[in-house]
Amino acid sequence: MDELLELRSKINAIATRKVSVNDLIVKAVAAAFEEVPDANAIWNGDTIRRYSSVDISVAVATDGGLVTPVVKSVDKLSISQIGLVVGDLADRARSGGLKQHEIVGGSFAVSNLGMYGTREFTAILNPPQSGILAVGAAEQRAIVVEDGSVEAHRMMTVTLSADHRVIDGALAAKWMAAFKQHIENPMSILL
């Protein structure tokens, strides 16, 4: 997470609206779907429905419980645009102002509890979506590097829950590898 957090700081130094870590994560999720398009699908009763655009639900805590509005065409949005859309949807989710079409659709969801200090958790699928990424806090952890020495780096634990009728273990691993690559090399999500 070191490079991603450094990139966020550079963006926020010049941005008119601050970009969140979650905005960058949502964009990395979309980039992973562009590399692994077979994972961008849902179970449709007895068939698999594949999507050409990347529509991602973002979990929002409200007084009435969890709401998951859908950010449409994340693959086509800039980081700033993602921040604006997610911010608007979250504000309206908390005030009860979402419309029905804003909470249906999408093949995937992101649930981020990192801001609460949660290190890791497992999120439950929201059918018919085929996957949900549970995002924990970015925190300093000791890691052993190639020469055997120990260094502190900011790390984040994510957990993928998937409907195996659509995303089996091998496809899930391929998607997670693509997501990890984008998180660890965050300039790739800006291109």
Our answer to whether residue 182 is catalytic in this structure is no
In sequence order, what are the residues at sequence separation of 6 or more whose Cβ sits closer than 8 angstroms to the Cβ of residue 171?
A: 36, 38, 39
CA–CA distance from 90 to each of 38, 60, 120, 156 (Å)?
29, 6, 22, 23
In terms of C-beta density within 10 A (0-12 exposed, 13-18 middle, 19 or more buried), how is residue 39 classed? Answer: buried
Q: List the catalytic residue out of 101, 153, 164, 182.
A: 164
Positions annotated as catalytic residues are: 164
